[in-house]
A = this chain, B = another copy of it.
Amino acid sequence: MNHKEQLKLENQLCFSVYACSREITKMYRPYLDQLGLTYPQYLVLLVLWEHHETTVKALGAELYLDSGTLTPLLKRMEEAGLVKRERSKEDERRVMVHLTQKGEELRDKASIIPDAMAANSGLSKEEFKKALTGFQQLLDHIHSVNEK
């Protein structure tokens, strides 16, 4: 492939990933609207439903986000009554984030989302699994390249 071909939009892996990501988020919107959540807020809840309590730092490591994004996002979630933020007593640099009752309860309502999304994606169970693995590998690789 020559330079001219390479610069075509249709040959950019980056673009198809970028557009796909936004279209997937759009697909979630009607479901998340019902729960009063944005997509990144939903991701934070996915982490907290697993761990119940975590720090801003750990949350950032899981979601690949920094405090510049998370701090205001978590403040909004706190205002919405979904999480509670408090400075750690042991290490006052850290801020512990944990679920409230309300945040915990959203889990049941959210539990139907993965099936709905998988169905909407049009992928079979095998294709889904394969795509997931492929992405996670690509993500790992690029993340390690970016670290350097």
- The interface size bin for chain A is 35 or more
Chain B proximity of A73: nearest CB distance (Å): 14
A47 to B15, CA, bound (A): 12
Decide: A143 near B23, CB < 8 A? Known: A14-B117, A17-B135: yes
Does A3 count as interface, using CB distance less than 8 angstroms? yes
- One of B16, B28, B49 near A7 (C-beta < 8 A): B49
- The answer to the question of A46 belonging to the interface, with a C-beta cut-off of 8 Å to chain B, is yes
A10 to chain B, nearest CB (A): 8
Assembly CA distance A20 to B12 (angstroms): 14
- Chain A residues 93 to 120 lying within 8 A of chain B, measured CB to CB, are 107, 110-111, 114-115, 117-118, 120
Q: Which residues of A contact B (CB under 8 A)?
A: 3, 6-28, 39, 43, 46-47, 49-50, 62-64, 107, 110-111, 114-115, 117-118, 120-123, 128, 131-132, 134-136, 138-139, 141-143, 145-146
